[in-house]
Amino acid sequence: MELIQNVIEYYDELYPITESQKKFYNDVLKNYPLPGRLLGIGCGTGFFEHLLARDGRDTTGIETSKEMLESANLKRRNQLMSIRFFLMSTIDMTRFLGKNFYDVISCLNNRIVFIHDRTLMKKFFFDCKQLLVKEGSLILQLPNFEVYNAKPMAKLPVRESIRAKLYTQIWTKDDGSKYLSQDVETGNGKLLPVMEKESIYQLSPSEIESFSKEAGFTSAKFYSDFDKNEFTGKEGNIIAILK
């Protein structure tokens, strides 16, 4: 059960856009002609998409939460910016979005793991490949489950801002499947639920390589952060870039 409304006020400050992330994307976008067409899957409140659009990029965001999407649209200050948001799940991407259109597709902030079915996860890679231009890039950010493997519960690092803290736990059921729970602590110490027992998929680097290869991607690079530090398998965070 999702209670996203409890975290929307704090979302942008809990998921800040770092200078490293900006540089990472600028380096990727150098490979494509201006303005660069980007799709953000699970775009949340659209903070990153608006930042890209202000830099002149053609940006699209899709999100399954109406509350998040309303926040994304409220950020629009300039009607001349090339930015748009749609209430849409990954299942419907290829039905409504342009094929062979996007230079870069992103699924950040661990959102990919909520595609909790293996068949749908494989479909995700195939669909992204269809939406991308021939040499397009797919960028993923997700936790390394080899690090967060404590049973029955593993804690992800606390996300913290001046006004709030976000606590995330990954639980393992008896059958090996996993679900995620999340709570936000506000400045007055009140603890509010954000997600309760949301099923997730334990996506591994080897599966990313396998699924992406089946979908037609020819290369997969892994980093531990947006500074492009090496991913050795021991780090808690995975940044994957597929072409």
| Alpha-helical segments (H) within the chain | 11-14, 19-29, 47-54, 66-74, 93-96, 118-131, 205-215
Spell out the domain ranges in the chain: 4-144+202-242, 153-199
The listed CATH number (3.90.800.10, 3.30.1330.10, 3.40.50.150, 3.50.50.60) that belongs to domain 4-144+202-242: 3.40.50.150
pLDDT (tens place) for every residue of the chain, 243 residues total: 468 889 999 999 999 999 999 999 999 999 999 999 999 999 999 999 999 999 999 999 999 999 999 999 988 766 667 999 999 999 999 999 999 999 999 999 999 999 999 999 999 999 999 999 999 999 999 999 999 999 999 999 999 999 999 999 999 999 999 999 999 999 888 999 999 999 999 999 999 999 999 999 999 999 999 999 999 999 999 999 999
CB 75 within 8 A of CB 17: no
How far apart (Å, rounded) are the C-alpha atoms in residues 173 and 111?
A: 20
Which of 114, 132, 118, 128 has its CA nearest to residue 37? 132
Q: From CA 154, how far away is CA 30, in angstroms rounded?
A: 38
b/e code 2-13 from CB counts within 10 Å (16+ = b): bebebbbebbbe
